[in-house]
Structure 1
């Protein structure tokens, strides 16, 4: 089968198309003939080599979510799964393939009316946004800032905060065109990447969901209200400065909080419960799945180049 691996760390050209043997499912696993593969920001971070210390080596196959049809099951798995359309979580990698191996506990049936492309656009991003807001103890009536709102997680966070009763949902993004699109999804104020601008924008925020990190992260502590909470869910701009916490401690009397959030800390059953609700909401038209572009699997280099250049609004989907 065809797969995409990280041949060398660095830029998008380090990705390569390779041929691998067709997979055979182990006990407890299924094989999914992929119709759609999600391309996430974490894929580009892994490809860059920034997470090599966490065990990601050259030769790694990126991608953590696929959607398609179950074609085979391993020992102990109900054979009735064969032929069903499902969404599947491949874990820390293994998604950029024509046939993905997924533990049966990590698959979820797709409802009628939800395309494979929509499923991988919503499947991971939606639950990260949902549980990140919960981790921040977001409550109706509070003000929210989504830093880096044009990506998959950001798009979903904007929608969920607005639908959750936020008094204001401000976003940072790179252009007026993106800002206009985010307003249609529920944003009330559009700021530049530094968090400035925006007519009548709140002076401070109760919750900041940060997908960007990078060297500018500490400056956003200044934008938190007393008892404000910042939750980092991504590092697409790289790690923050080693001393980033000193900015928060300088505002000690404001009782600020900083946390990270990874969906790895949420039980699969809880993730699936929320994911299933979100899939159903998308079918009803209550959540927008924003697909930036659909490209063939062997155009992964092009997809990553677009991600690195900041061209993507929503999610790029690869089709084997």
Structure 2
């Protein structure tokens, strides 16, 4: 079944000079859905810091440099325009609103998939890197992996939840923090961080200490943080001692039960472990860019004495994506965002690279 008036050509934003902050609006063919795929008319796409890393080739863990002409994006929301062969049993129909995530497809059969770790799938495809992403008006998605968008949730609000929202939701769950306990969120005013603050405080009953640049204090407090810590007010040459003392003073004198690092800054990782109390958990989310660096000095005696747990959290699974969107549909979490057109994407990335962007940007992909 096909929606009427599917064009042969569409507008897309590509990374025209990978390695640099540069994008270009081009015209490309509208793809045809293959077996098991649906064609989605994308109306909105969130812009993520991961897109910046892919565009600038600063994520050195990826298997190859980004190719010129790559369509980026992995937070896309739109309506199904056409069903490909073999999708009859999917329950989807033309006109349904669905979303495309960071992991655009997972095999569902490997051991990570069977364990509910879609983000670790051995055959995963990353949207906007392995496949053409969501910075275009039409894109393809596997019928068994696109995410249904709840009725009543605006597409602009839904888009950031497909990566930022589900990523921090999964990270908070991995922290094992219980209602009433303390969580410190580093990078609390960023695209991931401000949603993490809301989920923690309003959705999961946690007490939040938000850590970020002073310019983001208002956003972090409005998101539900009980305390805001302006990282610029603490010396950088005292091995974090003043910061640790202050955060401990805010959290019953013992430190946070968990620290979620949402920023990609190496310094944030170096500062994070001492903020924990006994039995605390550090959850690593933000991915540092460029050449690998030691992110913190390992003190086994501290880890042993305090029973600290250190874990990574790449991205949530398909069930957690649906749960995150339900939080958003209920109004528990809302992305702080502004809307831009496709031709503004380069300037958006420049803001992001300079650390000036508060919350999220959502692209309006209409003409």
CA contact (8 A) 2:147 2:322 kept: no
Structure 1 counterpart SS, 2:12: strand
2:350 pairs with 300, 305, 317, which one? 305
Structure 2 counterpart SS, 1:169: strand
Provide the aligned C-alpha RMSD in A: 2.5
Question: Would you say 1:135 and 2:174 are equivalent positions?
Answer: yes
Q: How does 1:83-232 map to 2 (within 5 A)?
A: 83-89=95-101, 90=104, 91-93=126-128, 94-163=133-202, 164-166=204-206, 168-176=207-215, 178-193=216-231, 196=243, 201-202=250-251, 203=253, 204-216=255-267, 217-232=269-284
Alpha-carbon distance change, 243 to 156 in structure 1, aligned in 2, over 3 angstroms: closer
Could you say which residue in structure 2 is the equivalent of 1:287?
A: 333
Give, in whole Å, the separation in 2 of the partners of 1:273 and 1:117: 16
TM-score by length of structure 2 reads: 0.77
Structure 2 counterpart SS, 1:44: helix
Give, in whole Å, the separation in 1 of the partners of 2:79 and 2:137: 11
Could you say which residue in structure 1 is the equivalent of 2:58?
A: 50
Could you say which residue in structure 2 is the equivalent of 1:317?
A: 362
Question: Would you say 1:5 and 2:5 are equivalent positions?
Answer: no
TM-score by length of structure 1 reads: 0.87
Alpha-carbon distance change, 3 to 256 in structure 1, aligned in 2, over 3 angstroms: same
**Displacement of 1:238 after TM fit?**
5.8
Moved segments of 4+, more than 4 Å: 197-200, 236-240, 247-251
Give, in whole Å, the separation in 2 of the partners of 1:301 and 1:125: 20
Structure 2 counterpart SS, 1:105: coil
Give, in whole Å, the separation in 1 of the partners of 2:54 and 2:295: 24
Question: Would you say 1:74 and 2:84 are equivalent positions?
Answer: yes
**Displacement of 1:276 after TM fit?**
4.0
Give, in whole Å, the separation in 2 of the partners of 1:236 and 1:44: 12
**Displacement of 1:30 after TM fit?**
1.0
CA contact (8 A) 1:25 1:73 kept: yes
Alpha-carbon distance change, 227 to 239 in structure 1, aligned in 2, over 3 angstroms: farther
CA contact (8 A) 1:28 1:103 kept: yes
Give 1 or 2 for the bigger CA radius of gyration. 2
Give, in whole Å, the separation in 1 of the partners of 2:230 and 2:290: 19
After superposition, give the CA deviation of every residue in 1:213-259 in whole Å (9 maximum; x if it has no partner). 43311222121112211111112566763363524655531222211
CA contact (8 A) 2:31 2:138 kept: yes
**Displacement of 1:53 after TM fit?**
4.1
CA contact (8 A) 1:248 1:256 kept: no
Count of residues in Structure 1 that have an aligned counterpart in Structure 2: 310
Question: Would you say 1:275 and 2:320 are equivalent positions?
Answer: no
Structure 1 counterpart SS, 2:98: strand
Could you say which residue in structure 1 is the equivalent of 2:30?
A: 22
Could you say which residue in structure 2 is the equivalent of 1:62?
A: 72
**Displacement of 1:141 after TM fit?**
2.4
